[in-house]
Chains A and B, each alone.
Chain A
Amino acid sequence: MFRPRLTRRGLGVLTAALLATSALTAPAMAQTPPGVLVVGQIAEPQALDPHAVTAVNDFRILMNVYDGLVRYAPGTLEVEPALATAWEISDDGLVYDFTLREGVTFHDGTAFDAEAVVWNFERMLDEDHPMHEATGPFPLSFFFSAVQVVEALDTHTVRFTLNEPFAPFLSNLAYPTGLIVSPAAVAEHGADFGRNPSGTGPFQFAEWRSNERVVVTRNENYWDGTAASEAVIFRPITDANTRVAEMLSGGIDVMVEVPPVALGQFDDPGFSIVEQAGPHVWFLILNMREGPFTDQRVRQAANYAINKEALVNDVLEGTATVAAGPTPPAFAWAHNEELDPYPYDPDRARELLAEAGVESPAITFYVTEGGSGMLDPVPMGTAMQADLAAVGFDVTIETYEWNTFLGRVNPGLEGRADMAQMAWMTNDPDTLPFLTLRTEAFPEDGGFNSGYYSNAVVDDLLERARISTDQDERAELYREMQEIVQEDAPWVFVANWVQNAVHSDRVENFTLEPSFFLLLRDVAKN
């Protein structure tokens, strides 16, 4: 505790003024009260409408306010019942019938039923829905692009009919884009629903003070047992240092995404560090349409040249592991265990460059200043630049703010850059390769294959894995895909993030989920 020391005098006006104000500071380190959990978030949420947002930062709040039909079982990426108590899938994989939980109401008091579910998906998917234009856009609606029609069979049964078999469908329903919002609340608030959310989750929305806090309070009628804390306050602190300082001084109880350099600060019995690997891949997109990376040997040389061990252990202080291929180990069933990462071998890299006949290829490298899942992009990019320079690459870095960065990378690297940083967090092994490695996913076709990787075998494997409903078969296809992609090296595979968080010793039952969500129902604070 702080005790004002007012004994010194005469150190000049400055000191005097500071000392005088220090009298005010006595209660500055006041403890947060028990039962109220204060969470340091990395940014102000964009909106609290689960269908309208894409950032993990927003998901951390949303998952505690809303429920989906299904959810990931604790500690896994396997789905289990939530608002739906059971479901049946037709043999052809096209029709899903969900039985809904009875007696559940939204926070605004209206009933949760089949009509509400239908309304939710129609708002997102039907461009003629009255609320589609008014409360959109819904950037992740393509998660459900396979859905042809949603209908209420009775008050507590909902049927989804798909265009084609779509393996990730259940997993996508467990994603925030599948969370169910109160139709009545949307109707009431219209465009402002994003700031006045209403769902069925363990906490209900209480207050959003811009740039200060979002407060949610315990939902006393929660269908799955009431939450352990009375309230949760989400506090946006965009600056990592400040977040650390607040955590150290007791201003927040939980802090997510601890910057690697600050981990040492929490080496103290008063704090606990929690870690959890998740489905995340951090990679460099290589431009395969033009420039030096059209040559596979040059792409492999880049993979050999970059010291990934040093990156994850030194720059990221062990908050990530080295990635071997495009599928993260967190998708245990789909991950190819036999695949070893490209080793750090600068000599091999030089050899490959020599073979390719380019001793000193000039590379433009897009680096972002931050962004969802990007970890520490600038130091990482700088270290990579040094590694690449060591084997002969002549790398020019251009840094951009995240949104500008996306605006430059997503339309494709052609004519702009040879290499760009990127990271994805996904919920199903299908999502990332399907959106970024297929020939049909070139940017001009509406995909995110910004490096123009094209391999007919990979295209075929991914297509088949997507429509198969047999997990073992899918696993086989994905493993084969990983081998080919690693050899083709359309990316430099860098890291898989091990998500971390710090909480004080007053917080109990705190865990992180592989889904990167933050589930606070059982977290207690003394």
Chain B
Amino acid sequence: MGAYILKRLLSAIPVLFGITVIVFLIMAMIPGDPATAILGSYATPENVERLNRHLGLDRPLWQQYFIWIGNLLQGDFGRSFALNRPVLDEILDRFGATLILAGTAFVLCALLGILAGVVSAARQYGLADKAITFVVILGISIPSFFLGMMMILLFAVQLRWLPASGMYSIWGGGDLPDLLRHLVMPAFALSVVATGVIARLSRSAMLEVLRQDFIRTARAKGVHERRVIWGHALRMAMVSIIPVLGIQAGFVLSGAVYIEMVFQWPGVGRMLVDAILKRDILLVQGGVVFVAACYVGFNIIVDVAQAWLDPRIKT
């Protein structure tokens, strides 16, 4: 297993390296420059040029790339032009918030999705199945930002149950219940689509598994049906559910951008959108590499979990 993990880690290196190249090239392709963002309304072409020189943006692209990647390898992500602080500080600040949001949403969608899928499969064509199927279709069809808006309208503005935005109350908050209150709506809104996808997949995976011979064996042994479903069948279905969890984790992470906008969550997604619009090159590059590394890392975890779960996979 150790060797397998090492192998997967090594195989991630070229992927990450490729990502640094892609993000660098894309940022180089985007017209506009950070100087405008720094100088604001008073950016004259002359000032912009001088500032670009100062920032080293007049150098050839390959030089800029190697300077950046060299610093990156030493853990130096550079300084954000627009925010006036080290990129890594900003990323870490923001990433914590995204991790809380996306992590919660992910746990939510995994639990709810699998639960709904299994119940749906176990009661195929029953009332519960039909209800779940309908809700799931509704879930995967609703734009998360629209759902978020409607939730704010209902729960924050009309009913005043939950705070409309942010991560902590500005006063008196900062503790866990406060965080949870702020987390409920965005996490739910973010998890809805993924929940739907996972539920659908879990349902079909369960149906596939339930037809297999070893389920009949379990039943023939007199294993209780509850255990047949939640033990034997689900355990096997997880083999095909887990890779999808990995993919959905990526979607949740990406989809967080909209939710962070709608709920003003101080996360990394919103930061990156702002940074792209402001041409805050180093922040975009650093942020994307960081997020991609997390994604790749998570996928390694998924693969390892898969290998651990399914002893038939050669590790």
Decide if A and B touch, CB cutoff 8 A: yes
Contact B84–A246 (Cβ < 8 Å): no
Contact B85–A46 (Cβ < 8 Å): no
The complex places the Cα of A192 from the Cα of B54 at a distance, in Å, of 18
The complex places the Cα of A212 from the Cα of B156 at a distance, in Å, of 19
Query: If the complex has contacts A32-B171, A54-B42, A245-B157, are A21 and B184 also in contact, measured as CB distance less than 8 A?
Result: yes
Contact B164–A249 (Cβ < 8 Å): yes
Closest to A133 in B: B54
Is A139's CB within 8 Å of the partner chain B?
A: yes
Residues of B with C-beta under 8 A to A194 = 84
Is B167's CB within 8 Å of the partner chain A?
A: yes
Residue among A28, A191, A401, A447 with the highest chain B CB neighbour number at 10 A: A28
Residue among B51, B164, B170 with the highest chain A CB neighbour number at 10 A: B170
Is A407's CB within 8 Å of the partner chain B?
A: yes
The complex places the Cα of A133 from the Cα of B94 at a distance, in Å, of 28
Query: If the complex has contacts A137-B51, A410-B45, are A238 and B264 also in contact, measured as CB distance less than 8 A?
Result: yes
Residues of B with C-beta under 8 A to A447 = 44
Q: How large is the interface on B (under 10, 10 to 19, 20 to 34, 35 or more residues)?
A: 35 or more
The complex places the Cα of A105 from the Cα of B180 at a distance, in Å, of 43
Question: Of residues 217 to 271 in A, which have CB atoms within 8 Å of B's CB atoms?
Answer: 233, 235, 237-239, 241-242, 245-246, 248-249, 251-252
CB distance from A138 to the nearest CB of B (A): 10
Interface 9-mer from B33-41, B69-77, B236-244, B290-298 = B33-41
The complex places the Cα of A404 from the Cα of B152 at a distance, in Å, of 31
The complex places the Cα of A44 from the Cα of B166 at a distance, in Å, of 13
Contact B42–A139 (Cβ < 8 Å): yes
CB distance from B245 to the nearest CB of A (A): 21
Query: If the complex has contacts A32-B170, A38-B170, A137-B51, are A251 and B163 also in contact, measured as CB distance less than 8 A?
Result: yes
Is A169's CB within 8 Å of the partner chain B?
A: no
CB distance from B217 to the nearest CB of A (A): 33
Q: How large is the interface on A (under 10, 10 to 19, 20 to 34, 35 or more residues)?
A: 35 or more
Contact A137–B44 (Cβ < 8 Å): no
Residues of B with C-beta under 8 A to A63 = none
Closest to B264 in A: A242
Residues of B with C-beta under 8 A to A235 = 166, 170
Query: If the complex has contacts A213-B170, A245-B156, are A403 and B93 also in contact, measured as CB distance less than 8 A?
Result: no
Residues of A with C-beta under 8 A to B31 = 404, 407
Is A16's CB within 8 Å of the partner chain B?
A: no
Is A211's CB within 8 Å of the partner chain B?
A: yes
Contact B163–A28 (Cβ < 8 Å): yes
Residues of B with C-beta under 8 A to A89 = none
Residues of A with C-beta under 8 A to B203 = none
CB distance from A444 to the nearest CB of B (A): 7
Contact B161–A25 (Cβ < 8 Å): yes
Contact B167–A212 (Cβ < 8 Å): yes
Contact B39–A137 (Cβ < 8 Å): yes
Residues of A with C-beta under 8 A to B90 = 210
Closest to B164 in A: A245
| Contact with B84, one of A46, A54, A139, A241 (Cβ below 8 angstroms) | A46
Is B279's CB within 8 Å of the partner chain A?
A: yes
| Contact with A404, one of B32, B171, B261 (Cβ below 8 angstroms) | B32
Is A83's CB within 8 Å of the partner chain B?
A: no
Contact B171–A30 (Cβ < 8 Å): yes
CB distance from B212 to the nearest CB of A (A): 29
Residues of B with C-beta under 8 A to A36 = 171
CB distance from B122 to the nearest CB of A (A): 16
Question: Of residues 378 to 434 in A, which have CB atoms within 8 Å of B's CB atoms?
Answer: 401, 403-404, 406-408, 410-411, 424
Is A465's CB within 8 Å of the partner chain B?
A: no
Contact B164–A242 (Cβ < 8 Å): yes
Contact A237–B40 (Cβ < 8 Å): no
Query: If the complex has contacts A32-B171, A237-B165, are A443 and B44 also in contact, measured as CB distance less than 8 A?
Result: yes
Residues of A with C-beta under 8 A to B67 = none
Closest to B156 in A: A245
Is B172's CB within 8 Å of the partner chain A?
A: yes
The complex places the Cα of A140 from the Cα of B40 at a distance, in Å, of 10
The complex places the Cα of A394 from the Cα of B40 at a distance, in Å, of 31
Additional pairs, 16, CB under 8 Å, beyond known A25-B162, A29-B160, A242-B166 = A2-B161, A24-B180, A24-B181, A55-B40, A139-B39, A210-B266, A211-B94, A233-B170, A241-B152, A242-B263, A245-B156, A249-B163, A404-B31, A406-B40, A407-B43, A447-B44
14 contacting pairs across A/B (C-beta < 8 A): A18-B155, A22-B162, A24-B181, A25-B181, A54-B39, A192-B85, A210-B93, A212-B168, A237-B165, A239-B165, A245-B157, A249-B164, A404-B31, A408-B32
List residues of B whose CB falls within 8 A of some A CB. Answer: 31-33, 36-48, 51, 54, 79, 82-85, 89-90, 93-94, 97, 152, 155-157, 160-173, 177, 180-181, 184, 261-264, 266, 271, 277-279
